[in-house]
Structure 1
Amino acid sequence: MDITLLYFDDCPNWKIADQRLATITADHADVTVRRHRVETIEEAERLGFHGSPSVLVDGVDAFAEPGAGVGLSCRVYRTPEGLAGAPTLEQLRVALGVAPGGER
């Protein structure tokens, strides 16, 4: 499974998502995470970047909502606790199809 974390430097929330993805990959050797810094509006448009952080699973945005805009902005996620700047650990596990402790 190929995971790409898209982000831009001015958004602090990508580091939270990165830490949560690291927690997951520690239990799943077959999951690799690449980090891709989006640097320009043109690149954001070309990638279909819906904001930072964005998590792509095998090239597909795992949390894309219909009609979401693209650009260099911080992204907001709906979580059980309310709106947040990154998906929860559990939301990421569901999106990746992995369970705690290395199970699939």
Structure 2
Amino acid sequence: MDITLLYFDDCPNWKIADERLAVITADRPDLTVSRHLVETLEEAERVGFHGSPSILVDGVDVFAEPNTGVGMSCRVFHTPDGLAGAPTVDQLRAALGAGNETLR
């Protein structure tokens, strides 16, 4: 399974998502993570960047909500503890099929 972490430098939340992905992939040799720096609005539109961080699983943004626009902004995620700058480890595991939790 290929995971792509889309981000832009001015948003610190991508580093949190990257650390959480590293926790999961340490035990999952079937997962490959790549990082993609989005630098322009044109590129954001081309890759369907819904904000930083965006997590694509086999090319699909697994946390995209309907009618979410694209752009160069920090993204927020609904977590069990409220809005946050990155999904929780459990939410990532669920999205990657690595646990029994469901997306919240």
> Structure 1 length as normaliser, TM-score?
0.94
Regions of 4+ moved over 4 Å: none
Give the % identical residues: 77
Q: Deviations over 1:27-84 (max 9, x none)?
A: 0011010000000000000111000000000000010100111000000000000000
Cα RMSD for the two superposed structures: 1.0
SS of equivalent to 1:3: strand
Q: CA deviation at 1:99?
A: 2.9
SS of equivalent to 2:20: helix
SS of equivalent to 1:11: coil
Q: Does 1:25 align with 2:25?
A: yes
SS of equivalent to 2:98: coil
Instruction: Map 1:48-87 onto structure 2 (within 5 A).
Output: 48-87=48-87
Letter of the aligned partner of 2:81 in structure 1? E
Residues paired across the two proteins, number: 100
> Structure 2 length as normaliser, TM-score?
0.94
Unaligned runs of 5+ in 1: none
Q: Does 1:94 align with 2:94?
A: yes
SS of equivalent to 1:27: coil
